Amino acid sequence: MSLTSVQLAPKLSTASIKKSWDVYTAFDWPETLPEDNWYMSPELMSLYGTEYFDSLSEAQQKKLSFTELCNFFSLVLQGERPLVQGLAHRLYLKTTEPPVSDYLHHFIDEENKHMIMFGMFLNRYFGKVYPEKKVTIPREYAKGEEDVAFLCKALVVEEYGEYYNVVMWHDKSLHPLVSEINRVHHFDETRHLAFGRARLVETFNEKSKNWSSDELQGFRDWLAAYLKSSWGDYYNPTMYKDAGLEDGYNLRQMALEHGRAHREKASEVLVNLLVENQILEHAPEL
């Protein structure tokens, strides 16, 4: 039988204390990064597998791998900002059990370290962080729906990112700094994911039992759309322009049309969790 989030929280707090690290001393930051390195595993790159990608020289592919990595790091950083805000808001609420509040301090601390880590890389070697593209549209929530939606948003950032982290951590062709950043991020995220998955299922089961059929369907429609729109951020026209490629918007459309199988594979763990727990009725089109 799976542990509840309250049962998990003390174990995760103990692990966080044991595995605590200093973001300012954890990495050796070179003055510059060489242009002839791979920075994102080719199979993760948005244009990989297209005739266009194959037509690029290796130097162009490597340059694109750098801007795609910077887009990925920016996405994770931008996704973790509202996550930290939401976690801080939930500290010491009447509905937040003491062991969970204790763990949320570690969760917030680790996410803050991640934002510093990604920000340091981006500012040192890229000179900017890609801005967040999502537009928040105010809407009415059913009772408890906002809490469920927050947990879903958190898992989307972390589950998508985890797939990329694991691939790049193990890819020996990448610059060692990139592999190390992905490794460090992965090991913290395994704890966040364990907590987030358990907390989402519990919260959905508790809150959704009082929703009407229309409210439940409205939530499911929103979640399916959110899963898809979050993938859209991985196809940033500006990263193509920054890599010296022309017509970024058409490249984005090409990559989106070609990349469905990749998106489904990278989303498989999250989508299975959502469907198996009836948070979604079926896998959405990504």
Cα–Cα distance, 256 to 197 (Å, whole number): 28
Long-range contacts of 148-151 (CB under 8 A, 24+ apart): 148/200, 148/203, 148/204, 148/207, 148/208, 148/219, 149/219, 149/222, 149/223, 150/86, 151/196, 151/199, 151/200, 151/203, 151/204
Whether the predicted pLDDT of 134 surpasses 80: no
- pLDDT given for residue 135 in this prediction: 62
pLDDT at residue 94, rounded to an integer: 86
pLDDT band for 140, please (50, 70, 90 cuts).
Answer: confident
Residue 167, Cβ neighbours under 10 Å: how many?
16
pLDDT in tens, 263-275: 999 999 999 999 9
- Mean pLDDT to the nearest integer, 130-150: 84
Residue keyed to tokens 């190390």:
180
What fold characterizes domain 42-276? Ribonucleotide Reductase, subunit A (1.10.620)
SS3 36: coil
Structure tokens at 181: 């950043």
Round to whole Å and give the CA distance between 234 and 230. 8
Cα separation, 185 vs 118, whole angstroms: 10
pLDDT of residue 39 exceeding 90, the answer is yes
Sign of the torsion angle spanned by Cα atoms 7, 16, 84, 252: negative
Locate the domains of the chain by residue range. Answer: 42-276
Torsion of CA 62, 67, 69, 74, to 10 degrees: 170
